[in-house]
Chain A
């Protein structure tokens, strides 16, 4: 490793880095703006100036930008040099000439990188005596506020939005000191990753609009490390609360998962926690539980369970702990997975493939480093948005490697690398039922029915390995596509195959597995990513239980008395008709959930279940990574974790298998002990007894204000703060101020670093893993035993059928997920229900755009407005999945029109 001398002290640093990265990784404070660990260097802001010297005798030196200078052995540099310091101070001075100095009314104040850097450079006196330039701001949609006067022109926003995330509607306009960062005209930012601008922007130009609705300073928030509930990828988040409402979600860096970024569903989908539709108190037959009947709640529940035929229905959006406790409470024989038949089949298949096959599931960061990507039947931007961001990076891997070799520039010199790369892209092939946003990056994008996608996938696997089944009757075009894809994958080092729940097709998932396995047999380090629908779909499947459709059989044959439903709206799992029948056939429904929903209407006992923000628990993501989320705040109502309600029910009913389980650690240990697949989840985070220097880890910053006053309207005596008996986090500002274990970081803060940029201080090196490793634990290891399984059943080709349409599911980042639609901004961006047809099919059925199409599925009548999209496979009809007020139809399946 090279040695560099910083202010005459030798330091060992990593080769291939720039001087800024080297300094920050060493823990030195050096101010910067335009550099970002995920975006690299461009040298625009000139803030990170240091001096370098030719040799020991050179006393004069020259000022360079540390972000643009590579580490070299024996290099001599100075951070403290007075010229460099003075220059850095003046850079702030220049930036401040037009900055409005409106920190007091700026949402960024207190978590502002510009504030931090200003203080760091020592700039304190304003000597610019002229007028400031001003800008008009733009309306950018429901997620971001725009205040251009604060802009310091670091160019990070456009570099993230356009270059990194592939957005097209944010740009830089005009020149000199009038440069303007915004849209061509007012309007909603189109990118699914726009919310990251709030964190990328070093000051208050782009700020979180949902936070603005219920604003509070970062230092006034009680925060906890959490895991996103928005999809199956398990991005790490920090949720902040004040006065009983969640105010903001920010990124929680995890080098293996989401890195520095989140999607907009994940960032903004939290407002269901604050919804007026929250269930806040236990209800019995729609009346408060402790009301007129006078029977204590638990006694009532006991009467519904003891000596009764009880079934439990788990949930893919509830924690492992809650599902586990329910399973124990009702017994494994009576535990059903609360997911639709289709989702059950798809996720259990994906799980089986990961458990039994030799190919590993890719993390998001591994996916971003793939050198060839094949996507089968998946619109990842909508089904697993952050995976799309990874794919956007993966297609750059080969061109970037080539650029680095040809032009001899380091990877971090972003502008030069992008210049050399131009528009060249590494191999990406997408087969989907219709166009996707990633098609623009693809070497090949083909739109066809799920079974045809599967056939091409099988065809690819056969070309890679004779062992894989042959596809008969493939069209010449299909053969050519398969051949091109097979050749490409064969030449890759780390190819990634993506499939999942998106197409609703098991055959597609099997084809993906065959391709990955065939590559594995060729000695290629292939990876698989299966998307799963919900935040704990994989965990629930691993826990195991009966299919929900078999619950119906049991209800019909066995006369079930009571169903305990965990965090689930069965109207999203079963068709309307079946769900109604189910509820009619059972006497008592005990529902634990967050929000009033159609299932809550049917509940005879309704228990207020804590959301992620009011609960501790564990989720398992699509790659089988178990991750712990921590309670953010105590709601001050009857709301509590589902697992706690169920443990209380266990006590009330004298359930032996739950005996002695009280706290989170008890439940986690019980899971780790009793379920082999979850071995090790008790080591995800230190337990409740963990202390550093005898202290807990505070959820509140030491500047948290108002504690003595915030409840003074009730009682002038400050109440005793709530205690957290489940975890080593405290609900107060008291506790250990140093770096907590990586899985327990409630907020990123370091002295002098109040903004999210302080994450540097928590990493082993800038952009690297968190200090004691990225949190989470992958539960499934690839089964490498020399024997590679494979699927043999190739589906028949899909051909349009007279009088029929093949219903195919279409997913929407805004709308398809149950809870996030309770955020008004997300609801605003949700599509209205529709049925999508190819124009030829529209002709066939004599309809046009906007016409209402009527069809019957499973005895149920649907009438939907038609939208036309000619990239859709002919003979197929797309319907959106999961939109509120839209009853579910099983897809894919043939329907008669």
Chain B
């Protein structure tokens, strides 16, 4: 089984430094691209691989790049979205800390494809080790001639900078990220115009996830067919999956795209810990719908998870066990989402705290049946299109599915006027 993204990361997780990276074939893709490929050919190859964005939305990367107007003057930007703040998600961290040059090489090639003049890594503030490694990697890449003027002596120049965020979940949304990078409030922008046309400082900009960009050197070296062949399903490549919760072996693994949930949980995560029963899981981070026992054979790719009523999201699963109160579980999530709402649009700013307060009231034994109606109503009203961006709709996904799959738990809170899991609750 090939693990292109993580195969060279030492078991210790320590970063692969530039010489080590070069020794395992690092920067050969960049060399090849600058010698042999036009920017359009790079994009064509990425399209050919049908690489889908690993940040959660699963949009075709090559397609995204192809929207960048190529015949305009002035700066263009490439941004690596390394603001990994989705609760339960830690896949990019692995790549950032373990193989920073792989990301850099992917970024330089991607920047070349859109003829960007400047690249940024927008990094989550809390990833202190990653920040250190990225800074070193960028400096080393400059020193080695992979960045700066006339990269590898060719007629292409690119500057790169690391930007550490201040810890807003909102910055994971690409347009809010761009606002933040400009020094503005991290609020999302209306689309259209898309960042490909009017992004950072109003200039054409591509924002890609760390995992997505890290694939680029491998696709350049090995081609689209190779990439597709890595997968079990129609969505090509490998995927870094993660599992957290009361399992025997929580962690993250690079696996062929499309492994089943059962395989992931039982083979890789080692099954539930003794005394804990699986009740459900958020398959792709906090803003995805619960899947349950009934979905164990769902193939974990974009289409498969969607068909099961959820989203692949980041591919990092959070497991709910039978000792944890589902109401408390979603209360914790809604607390997070309410706090991380940017405050720009009404339904999100006011609706999320409302759901949080209801869930808290339920947990405290003050819930009413009318509260459930309110919660149901919010899951419908805070849907896509009703709110300005995807934050609130994402926040409603675990809630709506919890109300669906664990309704009796909610009702029990009301009937018993207390949390039946009180000894475990938050």
Contact = CB atoms under 8 A, between A and B. Distances in A.
B346 interface: yes
Contacts of B275: none
Contacts of A421: 202
A477 B315 CA distance: 65
B169 to A, nearest CB: 10
B342 A43 contact: no
Given A90-B381, A176-B338, A407-B198, A46 B190 contact: no
A91 interface: yes
Interface in B348-382: 349-354, 357, 361, 370, 374, 377, 381
A177 B344 CA distance: 9
Nearest to B373: A127
Interface in B321-343: 338-343
Contacts of A704: none
B60 to A, nearest CB: 22
A44 interface: yes
Contacts of A419: 189, 193, 198, 202
Contacts of B344: 44, 155
Nearest to A64: B385
B385 A153 contact: no
A692 interface: no
Contacts of B197: 406-408
Contacts of B346: 44-47, 91, 94-95, 152-153
A420 B192 CA distance: 12
B354 A409 contact: no
A42 B389 CA distance: 13
A68 interface: yes
A422 interface: yes
A578 interface: no
Contacts of A64: 385
A408 B357 CA distance: 42
Nearest to B185: A172
Q: How large is the interface on A (under 10, 10 to 19, 20 to 34, 35 or more residues)?
A: 35 or more
B189 A127 contact: no
A63 B385 contact: yes
Contacts of B349: 94, 153, 176-177, 179
A413 interface: yes
A409 B194 CA distance: 11
Contacts of A707: none
Contacts of B189: 415-416, 419
Contacts of A177: 338, 341, 343, 349-350, 353
B341 A409 contact: no
Contacts of A845: none
Give the most central of B189, B197, B345, B374: most A CB within 10 Å: B345
A880 to B, nearest CB: 38
A768 B388 CA distance: 28
A216 interface: no
B343 A46 contact: no
A175 B168 contact: yes
Interface in A5-51: 42-47, 49
A87 B381 contact: yes
Interface string A46-79: 1101000000000000111000100000000000
Nearest to A96: B350
A423 B425 CA distance: 51
B192 A44 contact: no
B347 A94 contact: yes
Given A176-B339, A176-B340, A420-B202, A91 B354 contact: no
Contacts of A155: 344
B59 interface: no
A128 interface: yes
A44 B385 CA distance: 12
A97 interface: yes
B385 A94 contact: no
Interface in A322-359: none
A98 interface: yes
B387 interface: yes
B343 A87 contact: no
B388 A49 contact: no
Contacts of A44: 344-346, 388
A802 interface: no
B381 to A, nearest CB: 5
Contacts of A179: 343, 349
Contact of B202 (A90, A403, A408): A403
Contact of B385 (A47, A62, A416): A62
A42 B175 CA distance: 14
Contacts of A1: none
Interface in A229-260: none
B190 A68 contact: yes
Contacts of B66: none
A804 B354 CA distance: 71
Contacts of B354: 94, 97, 128, 130
A42 B190 contact: yes
B386 interface: yes
Nearest to A98: B350
Give the most central of A64, A97, A152, A175: most B CB within 10 Å: A175
A174 interface: yes
Contacts of B168: 175
B343 A174 contact: yes
A393 to B, nearest CB: 19
A130 B374 CA distance: 13
Given A43-B345, A44-B346, A408-B192, A176 B353 contact: yes
A542 to B, nearest CB: 47
Interface string A598-625: 0000000000000000000000000000
Nearest to B370: A127
A643 B138 CA distance: 80
Contacts of A97: 350, 353-354
A60 to B, nearest CB: 12
Contacts of A420: 193, 198, 202
B198 A416 contact: yes
Contacts of B361: 130
B201 interface: yes
Given A43-B388, A408-B197, A176 B202 contact: no
Contacts of A62: 385
Contacts of B386: 46, 49, 63, 87
A777 B374 CA distance: 57
Contacts of B370: 127
A408 B343 CA distance: 27
A20 to B, nearest CB: 14
Give the most central of B168, B202, B374, B381: most A CB within 10 Å: B202
A177 B337 CA distance: 11
A422 B202 contact: yes
Interface in A699-750: none
B343 A178 contact: yes
A46 B341 contact: no
23 contacts: A43-B388, A44-B344, A44-B345, A46-B387, A91-B346, A94-B349, A127-B374, A175-B170, A176-B340, A176-B343, A176-B349, A176-B352, A176-B353, A177-B338, A177-B350, A403-B198, A406-B72, A406-B197, A407-B193, A409-B193, A419-B198, A420-B193, A420-B198
Given A176-B352, A179-B349, A413-B190, 6 more contacts: A44-B344, A45-B345, A176-B349, A176-B353, A178-B343, A403-B198
Interface of A: 42-47, 49, 62-64, 68, 87, 90-91, 94-95, 97-98, 127-128, 130, 152-153, 155, 172, 174-179, 403, 406-409, 413, 415-416, 419-422
Interface of B: 72, 168, 170, 185, 189-190, 192-193, 197-198, 201-202, 338-347, 349-354, 357, 361, 370, 374, 377, 381, 385-388
User: When A and B form their complex, which 7 residue pairs have the shortest distance between CB atoms, in order from nearest?
Assistant: A94-B350, A179-B343, A420-B202, A176-B341, A407-B198, A130-B357, A407-B193
